């Protein structure tokens, strides 16, 4: 019997030794698997983050190019330094931007997404070899450049919002119903407390307006509180105060709308445009006022001129404002058929 055969026979006759050998093999295997995942997320704080997402190449993937040199860095996040392959950082940034642009504008069509979606096999524009990106560094740099805003970091993901996303939305051609393209999402003043002081019904049925085609109108009730005033903007996109572009409007000369008060004597101001927060990347390209109107108890048609106005970026297409000074007991009024013509 050879020496090797004697050793194997001894192990076979001692189950305890066999168990220790199996445990050792499992530990070595787990350590190797952990090291292979460590390079995907590129953390520099000594912790390993993994993204459990299937990585697939496709004919439409963002390729690095055959002539690109793969850089090798020493990973010092563990007790043993080892080389880690990375694409050049400028290439990582360029490809990440293109991937995010594609997902935001063409595939997911949303401002908010996650890193899992960026590196995953979604759509046709898939990243080639995402494990060769230092994703923490890439996302930090994109935020520094103002391309994204990181919302939440977790152990396995990064959620973020794309800033300055540009959809190629076609221009709106007047005439059109404003309420079909803009949303009553810009609640102001006491409206910031939600429906506590403002009640908005955009499909009120008891309108009784001559010439109305759908039998519906907008009913608004406001009870003044702490701020003493309130209003609502119809915005595009929904809840946009300047974080995103608005819509371009063409062929318009005026805004027309119908309004009446619950009893008559209600005082309400009407306007369009004027969203221009100084800390936001986008703003309305115009601002016009109809001023304060003393409403009657009967439907009346009103008009706001758009003569000479630049409507290349319309965020707030229409708004109303009411105050406690002119409506101390509160106000209820109705709107209908708000149109750009």
What is the rounded average pLDDT of the residues 20-44?
A: 51
* Token pair in block for residue 164: 């300055």
Alpha helices per DSSP H over 80-211: 89-102, 115-119, 135-144
Mapped onto helix, strand or coil, the DSSP state of residue 122 is: coil
Angle, vertex CA 31, rays to CA 54 and CA 140, nearest 5: 55
Give, to the nearest 10 degrees, the angle between helix 15-41 and helix 135-144.
20
Residue 77 has pLDDT above 60, yes or no: no
Instruction: Indicate whether 327 and 192 sit together in one domain.
Output: yes
- Among residues 37, 105, 121, the alpha carbon closest in space to that of 77 is found at 37
pLDDT at 237: 86
Strand blocks (E) in 209-266: 217-222, 229-235, 249-250, 254-261
CB 309 within 8 A of CB 317: no
258-292 burial, b at 16+ Cβ within 10 Å, e below that, comes to: bbbbbeeebbbbbbbbebeeeeeebbbbbebebee
What is the rounded average pLDDT of the residues 97-119?
A: 88
pLDDT at 134: 92
CATH number at residue 261: 2.60.120.260
Instruction: Indicate whether 72 and 17 sit together in one domain.
Output: yes
- Among residues 201, 64, 38, 196, the alpha carbon closest in space to that of 131 is found at 38
Higher pLDDT, 23 or 150: 150
What is the rounded average pLDDT of the residues 147-159?
A: 91
- Among residues 330, 89, 36, 83, the alpha carbon closest in space to that of 199 is found at 330
**What's the pLDDT tens digit per position in 3-30?**
556 655 665 566 656 656 666 665 555 5
- Among residues 186, 45, 54, 158, the alpha carbon closest in space to that of 100 is found at 158
Instruction: Indicate whether 270 and 185 sit together in one domain.
Output: yes
18-32, 144-158, 260-274: which is most confident: 260-274
The CA-based dihedral angle spanning residues 254, 258, 262, 266, taken in that order and rounded to the nearest 10 degrees: 20
Total domain count, the chain: 2
Peptide bond into 313 cis (omega under 30): no
Residue 320 has pLDDT above 80, yes or no: yes
Claim: this prediction has a pTM higher than 0.75:
no
Residue 263 has pLDDT above 80, yes or no: yes
Instruction: Indicate whether 207 and 258 sit together in one domain.
Output: yes
Higher pLDDT, 119 or 22: 119
CA 44 to each of CA 26, 31, 75: distance values in angstroms, whole numbers, following the listed order: 27, 19, 8
Give, to the nearest 10 degrees, the angle between helix 89-102 and helix 135-144.
70
Which of these three, 168, 197, 232, is where a domain ends?
A: 168
Instruction: Indicate whether 96 and 189 sit together in one domain.
Output: no
- Tally of CA atoms within 13 A in the half-sphere of 311 that contains its CB: 25
* Residue 146: count of CB within 10 angstroms of its CB: 10
Least confident of 61-70, 165-174, 241-250: 61-70
Which of these three, 168, 184, 204, is where a domain ends?
A: 168
Instruction: Indicate whether 148 and 288 sit together in one domain.
Output: no
* Residues in Cβ contact with 272 at an 8 Å cutoff, skipping those fewer than 6 apart: 255, 286, 287, 288, 304, 306, 314, 316, 317, 318, 319
Alpha helices per DSSP H over 89-204: 89-102, 115-119, 135-144
Instruction: Indicate whether 55 and 103 sit together in one domain.
Output: yes
Find tokens 């509160």 and name the residue: 330
pLDDT at 271: 97
- Among residues 143, 156, 146, 158, the alpha carbon closest in space to that of 113 is found at 158
Note down the domain range covering 92.
1-168
- pLDDT above 90 covers what percent of the chain? 50
Least confident of 21-35, 63-77, 210-224, 256-270: 63-77
pLDDT at 139: 93
Instruction: Indicate whether 143 and 218 sit together in one domain.
Output: no
Instruction: Indicate whether 160 and 177 sit together in one domain.
Output: no
Which of these three, 128, 152, 168, is where a domain ends?
A: 168
- Among residues 66, 80, 156, the alpha carbon closest in space to that of 119 is found at 156
Average pLDDT along the chain: 81
Instruction: Indicate whether 3 and 51 sit together in one domain.
Output: yes
Residue 34 pLDDT level (bands cut at 50, 70, 90): very low
Instruction: Indicate whether 71 and 192 sit together in one domain.
Output: no
Instruction: Indicate whether 243 and 94 sit together in one domain.
Output: no
């Amino acid at each position: 019997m050879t020496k090797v055969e004697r050793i194997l026979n001894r192990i076979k006759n001692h189950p305890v030794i066999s168990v220790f050998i199996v445990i050792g093999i499992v530990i070595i295997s787990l350590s190797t698997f952990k090291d292979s995942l460590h390079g995907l997320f590129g953390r520099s704080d000594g912790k390993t983050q993994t993204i459990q997402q299937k990585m697939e190449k496709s004919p439409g993937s963002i390729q690095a190019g055959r002539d690109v040199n793969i850089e090798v860095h020493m990973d010092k996040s563990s007790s043993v330094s080892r080389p880690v392959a990375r694409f050049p950082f400028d290439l990582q940034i360029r490809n990440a931007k293109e991937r995010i642009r594609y997902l935001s504008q063409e595939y997911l069509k949303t401002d908010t997404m996650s890193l899992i979606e960026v590196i995953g096999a979604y759509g046709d524009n898939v990243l080639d070899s995402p494990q060769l990106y230092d994703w923490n560094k890439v996302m930090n740099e994109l935020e520094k450049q103002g391309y994204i805003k990181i919302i939440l970091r977790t152990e396995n993901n990064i959620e973020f919002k794309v800033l300055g996303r540009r959809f190629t939305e076609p221009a709106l051609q007047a005439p059109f119903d404003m309420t079909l393209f803009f949303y009553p999402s810009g609640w102001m003043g006491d409206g910031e407390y939600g429906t506590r002081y403002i009640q908005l019904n955009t499909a009120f049925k008891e309108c009784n307006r001559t010439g109305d085609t759908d039998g519906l109108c907008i009913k608004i009730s406001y009870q003044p509180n702490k701020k003493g005033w309130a209003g609502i903007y119809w915005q595009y996109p929904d809840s946009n105060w300047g974080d995103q572009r608005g819509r371009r409007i063409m062929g318009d000369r005026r805004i027309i709308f119908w309004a009446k008060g619950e009893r008559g004597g209600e005082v309400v101001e009407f306007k369009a445009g004027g969203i221009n927060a100084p800390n936001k990347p986008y703003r309305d390209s115009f601002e016009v006022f109809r001023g304060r109107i003393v409403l009657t108890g009967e439907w009346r048609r009103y008009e706001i001129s758009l003569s000479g106005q630049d409507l290349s970026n319309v965020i707030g297409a229409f708004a109303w404002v009411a105050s406690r000074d002119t409506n101390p007991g509160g106000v209820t009024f109705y709107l209908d058929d708000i149109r750009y013509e």
